[in-house]
Amino acid sequence: MNPEDRYYSTEHEWVLANEDKTLYIGITEYAQEELGDLVFVEMPTVGTVVESMGKLGEVESVKSVSDIYCPISGKVIEINQEAVQSPEIINEDPYGKGWLVRLDPSNPEDLNQLMSASEYETFLESLGH
């Protein structure tokens, strides 16, 4: 289900820490399922500094627009161009090829404020799913 090697936010983003302390950020399986077929992704430019729970970008399905929030503050150091070019890969592989940005966090310890996979699943159940 939701991989245990990463952290989760209440806004349905995931965060995966690399050995070099940078973070990959994407949206969860639940989020992609709720959004439906994604057709457009808008991401910030590399170098943008984003606050914790600040707006990172937008994803669009055919009939909805949703903001993507940054679960942790930091500087954007890479954008997944493949996901921007072909948003369907976010639907197909949200935890792998469908990652959105790589971030250099300002306070890596903030990761602990996010949920674990099992906590996130409990959270999803509380939403009635």
Partner 1 sequence: MDISVPGRIGIALPPLDVPEQPLPDAGKLREELSLPEVSQGEVIRYFTNLSQLNFSVDTNYYPLGSCTMKYNPKINNELASLPGFTEIHPLQDIETTQGALELMYDLQNLLANIVGMEHAGLSTVAGAHGELTGMLMIRAYHDSKKDYRRSIVLVPDSAHGTNPASAAMAGYTVMSIPSDKNGNMDIEILKSHCTEETAGIMLTLPNTLGLFDPNIVEICNYVHECGGLVYGDGANMNALLGRAHMSTIGFDVLHLNLHKTFSTPHGGGGPGAGPVLCNDRLASFLPTPIIAKNNDLYSLETPSASIGKIGGFHGNFGILVRAYAYIRSMGKQGMLDISENAVINANYILARLKDDYYLPYDRNCMHEVIFSAKPQRSKGVRALDIAKRLIDYGIHPPTMYFPLIVEEALMIEPTESESKDTLDYFISVMQEIAQEVESNPQILKDAPHNTPNTRLDEAKAARQPNLRW
Partner 2 sequence: MAISNSSPYIPNTSDEKIAMLKTIGVNAADELFKDIPAGFGNDLSSLPSGLSEIELYREMQILSERNMNQSQLASFLGGGAYRHFIPSVVRHVTGIGELATAYTPYQPEVSQGTLQITYEFQSLVSQLMEMDVSNAGMYDGATSTAEAALMACRIKGRNSICVLDTVSPTQLEVIRTYTEPQGLTVYTTDHKDPRIGQDTACLIIQHPNFYGYLEQMEDLKAITQQNDVLMIVSTDPIFLGMFKSPGTLGADIAVAEGQPLGISLSYGGPYVGLFTCKTEFLRQMPGRIVGKTVDTTGKEGYVLTLQTREQHIRREKATSNICTSEALICTAIVAYLACIGKNGLKHIAESTYHKAHYTASLISEIPGYSLPTNELFFREFVVECPVNPKTIKATLLNKGILAGIDVSDRFNNGLMISVTEMNTKEEIERLAKELSKIKP
Taking the CA of residue 2 as centre, how many other CA atoms within 13 Å lie in the half-sphere pointing to its CB? 26
Binding mask 3-32 for partner 2 (x = CB under 8 A): ------------------------------
Binding window for partner 1 (CB under 8 A); candidates: 3-11, 71-79, 81-89, 98-106: 81-89
Chosen from partner 1, partner 2, none, partner binding at 1 (C-beta under 5 to 8 Å by type): none
Binding window for partner 1 (CB under 8 A); candidates: 54-62, 65-73, 75-83, 110-118: 54-62
CA gap 30, 4 in Å, rounded: 15
What b/e string do you get for 79-106 counting C-beta neighbours within 10 Å, with b at 16 or more? bbeebeeebebbbeebbeebbbbbbebe
Chosen from partner 2, partner 1, none, partner binding at 65 (C-beta under 5 to 8 Å by type): partner 2
Instruction: List contacts with partner 2 (CB under 8 A).
Output: 40, 60-65
